Amino acid sequence: AKSLDLPRRNLWVLPHDDLDKAMAEFHKAPTEAPFGYVGIAFPSAKDPTFAERHPGKSTAALIAGDVPWSVFAEWEHTKVHHRGTEYEDLKALFQERMLAELFRHYPQVKDKVVHVSSGTPLDTNFYLGKTQGESYGLQLSPAKTQAELQWLGPVPNVEGFPKGLVLAGQDLGSDGFAPAVTSAMMAAVPIEGFLHWLSVVDMLGGWRSFAKALCTEPPAVGLQTAA
């Protein structure tokens, strides 16, 4: 709802400014240590038609982790919705911790929550067809960067790769919506030719807008370290 004054930007919350250390601390004691990160977004605030279609309502989406696969691995062969009390209690523990982060940064929603649905790596396996709860694509590691430099692209430099087949998707670059969109343009270049990159100019409203975009400092990112 508009009265909640929820932002369109995403908020990333880190326990401190050393992400590697934070993740190691969380992995060592995942039920006790602060999450390595928490991402908070309000999809309803990004949709200009949401208030009209769903008056008086808002939605929030949170991700946290990275929760180690080992935390939930013992329930790997159980059925969804039938994993047992111990599993549900552990799932509820993570859910309450995530809600605490939501309420800490946006206290105006604390008494407004009417429905919460949470998922674990096992739910990711079930609904997305994964194997160990992975949901963000290929791990961004030095090996991934090396692959991008050597062979990974819209037309992979791999012997026997089918002629005429072009790849697209976020894993050509990095995680996220913007890299996924960019990958489509990358995939179009082998088809349309290198000059296809000039279509970016029209997408940004012409050469003047394009030059302005190149020279404008990026907006501040919603990133906070935990107090």
User: Exposure of 195 by Cβ count < 10 A (0-12 exposed, 13-18 middle, 19+ buried)?
Assistant: exposed
Q: What is the pLDDT of residue 162?
A: 96
Phi-psi region of 59 (alpha: psi -120 to 50; beta: other; left: phi over 0): beta
Q: What is the pLDDT of residue 143?
A: 93
Q: What is the pLDDT of residue 1?
A: 65
Q: What is the pLDDT of residue 219?
A: 61
- The rounded average pLDDT for each run of 10 residues, N- to C-terminus, in the chain (227 residues) is 88 92 95 95 95 95 92 95 96 97 96 95 92 82 91 94 94 85 90 86 80 73 57
Q: What is the pLDDT of residue 221?
A: 55
* Residues 6+ away with beta carbon under 8 Å from 52: none
Handedness of CA 95, 96, 101, 103 (dihedral sign): positive
The secondary structure of the chain, three-state, reads CHHHCCCCCCEEEECCCCHHHHHHHHHHCCCCCCCCEEEEECHHHHCCCHHHHCCCCCCCEEEEECCCHHHCHHHCCCECCECCHHHHHHHHHHHHHHHHHHHHHCHHHCCCCCCCCCCCHHHHHHHHCCCCCCCCCCCCCHHHHHHHHHCCCCCCCCCCCCCCCCCCCHHHCCCCHHHHHHHHHHHHHHHHCHHHHHHHHHHCCCHHHHHHHHHCCCCCCCEEECC
Q: What is the pLDDT of residue 90?
A: 97
Lookup: tokens for 74: 């013992």
What predicted TM-score, i.e. pTM, was given to this entire model?
Answer: 0.77
Angle at 137 between CA 65 and CA 99, to 5 degrees: 25
Buried b / exposed e across 132-170, counting CB within 10 Å, b at 16+? Answer: ebebebbeeeeeeeebeeeebbbbeeeeeeeeeeebbeb
Q: What is the pLDDT of residue 226?
A: 58
Q: What is the pLDDT of residue 220?
A: 57
Q: What is the pLDDT of residue 212?
A: 82
